[in-house]
Structure 1
Amino acid sequence: MTPPKELSSKEQLLSLVEANPFIGQQELADQLGLSRSAVAGHLGQLTREGRILGRAYVLPQRQPIVCIGGTNLDRKLRAVGPLRMGSSNPAQQHESAGGVARNIAENLARLGLPVHLLTAVGRDAAGQTLLTQLQGLGVDCAGCLQAADAATGSYTAVLDPDGELVLALAHMELTDRLDPAFLRQTAPQRAPARWLVADLNLPRETLDELRAEARLRDQRLLLVAVSEPKMARLGTDLRGVELLVLNRGELQALSGQVLPDDAALRAAWRSLHDAGLQRLVMSDGAAGLRFSEGDDLVLLPPPRLNPASIREVTGAGDALTAGIAAALHRDPDDLRGACALGLQLAALTLQSDATVSEALSPALLV
Structure 2
Amino acid sequence: MSEIICIGSVLWDVIGRNPDAMPLGADRPGRITRLPGGVAMNIAMTLARLKMTPVLLTALGRDYAGDALVQRARELGMVTDHIHRSDKPTDTYMAIEAAGELTAAIADAHSLEEAGDAILAPLVKGPIATQAAPYSGIIALDGNLKASLLAQIAEHPAFAKADLRVAPASPGKIHRLKPFLGCDHATLYLNLEEANALSGVEAADANEALAALARGTGARILVTDGARAAAKSSPHGVVRATPPAVLAKRITGAGDTLMAAHIVAELGGATGTDALAQALQAAARYVSGEDL
Which TM-score applies when normalising by structure 1? 0.71
Gap change, CA 1:316 and 1:177, over 3 Å in 2: same
For 1:93, the equivalent position in structure 2 comes to 32
**Is 1:156 matched with 2:99?**
no
- The CA deviation at 1:153 is 1.2
The gaps in structure 2 that reach 5 residues or longer are: 130-134
For 1:281, the equivalent position in structure 2 comes to 222
Q: How does 1:1-366 map to 2 (within 5 A)?
A: 61-62=1-2, 64-79=3-18, 81-148=20-87, 150-160=88-98, 162-187=99-124, 188=126, 190-191=128-129, 192=135, 194-213=137-156, 217-236=160-179, 238-260=182-204, 264-271=208-215, 274-277=216-219, 279-294=220-235, 296-305=237-246, 307=247, 310-331=248-269, 334-352=271-289, 357=291
Gap change, CA 1:164 and 1:215, over 3 Å in 2: same
- The CA deviation at 1:300 is 0.5
- Separation in 2, partners of 1:323, 1:175: 25
Is the Cα–Cα contact under 8 Å of residues 15 and 94 in structure 2 kept in the other structure? yes
Is the Cα–Cα contact under 8 Å of residues 126 and 152 in structure 1 kept in the other structure? yes
- The CA deviation at 1:84 is 3.9
Percent identical: 30
Letter in 2 for 1:260: A
- Separation in 2, partners of 1:342, 1:214: 30
Question: SS state of the match for residue 350, structure 1?
Answer: helix
The gaps in structure 1 that reach 5 residues or longer are: 1-60, 359-366
Gap change, CA 1:220 and 1:87, over 3 Å in 2: closer
Which one has the largest radius of gyration? 1
Gap change, CA 1:167 and 1:239, over 3 Å in 2: same
Work out the number of aligned pairs and report it.
Answer: 285
Give the aligned CA root-mean-square deviation in angstroms: 2.4
Question: SS state of the match for residue 78, structure 2?
Answer: coil
- Separation in 1, partners of 2:282, 2:205: 27
- Separation in 2, partners of 1:216, 1:323: 22
Question: SS state of the match for residue 179, structure 1?
Answer: helix
Q: More helix per residue: 1 or 2?
A: 1
- Separation in 2, partners of 1:133, 1:262: 36
Gap change, CA 1:242 and 1:84, over 3 Å in 2: closer
Q: More strand per residue: 1 or 2?
A: 2
Deviates more, 1:313-322 or 1:296-305: 296-305
- Separation in 2, partners of 1:226, 1:265: 18
- The CA deviation at 1:342 is 1.3
- Separation in 2, partners of 1:288, 1:214: 36
- Separation in 2, partners of 1:262, 1:350: 19
- Separation in 2, partners of 1:76, 1:232: 26
- Separation in 2, partners of 1:265, 1:295: 18
Is the Cα–Cα contact under 8 Å of residues 153 and 172 in structure 1 kept in the other structure? yes
Letter in 2 for 1:99: G
User: C-alpha offsets along residues 133-169 of structure 1, whole Å, 9 cap, x if unaligned?
Assistant: 1111110011111121x22111111111x22211111
Which TM-score applies when normalising by structure 2? 0.88
